[in-house]
Amino acid sequence: MTFTLYHHGSSVCAAKVRFAMAEKEIPWEGVYIDILAGEQFNPEYTKLNPKAVVPTLVHDDRVVLDSTVIIEYLDQLDPDSSLHPTDPMDRANARLWTKAVDEDLHPACGAMTFVCSHRHTVLRNLGEDGVTIWMAAPPAAGPSAPTRSPLCLSRASTIRWLPAMHAK
């Protein structure tokens, strides 16, 4: 079995998968995707992950997306080393915590991280026109699309902040 993880060092979602793989002692090869340089938008990568986000796991030519789904997939491959509790109620509670992080905390923090921390690097790498095109693109839709927290800044509000923050 071979595992290839497409990841970025500052991605919390990718770190979650790296921690899980380390805990389960699963050897893997990494492909570093520089999300601050826009490498997630390369056509080769978007063929693997149409949402253009990290992480993406490739296991023997099978592609698994989304950090929580990847961890559940890894647990199913080797249930004896499960990262989840065995008691059904404890497992349900663990899933509620994961769901809260995925649906509420991560989107809110992601928007703030982008606006406050990475905007200069992204603007430098993509240019103002590139950022405008990226921000104007519709977000992923469908059952696998991430939900947006009410605290999360929209793409439209984020794009209004970028030029103003960049100028300061």
- The two three-digit tokens of residue 101, written as one number: 């992080």
End-to-end alpha-carbon separation of the chain, Å? 50
Burial class from Cβ neighbours inside 10 Å (0-12, 13-18, 19+) for residue 11 reads buried
Could you read off the pLDDT of 127-146 as tens digits, one per residue?
888 777 767 766 554 444 44
Higher pLDDT, 100 or 149: 100
How many CB atoms within 10 Å of residue 147?
A: 10
Domains, in order of start, for the chain: 3-81 (3.40.30.10), 88-167 (no CATH)
| 22 contacts 47 by C-beta, under 8 angstroms | no
Average model confidence (pLDDT) for the chain?
A: 80
Please indicate whether residue 19 or residue 164 has the higher confidence score (pLDDT): 19
pLDDT computed for residue 152 by the predictor: 32
Q: How far apart are CA 121 and CA 125, in angstroms?
A: 6
Query: pLDDT per residue over 49-85, tens digit each?
Result: 999 999 999 999 999 999 999 999 999 999 899 999 9
Helices marked H in the chain — which ranges? 12-23, 43-48, 67-77, 88-100, 106-113, 119-136, 155-167
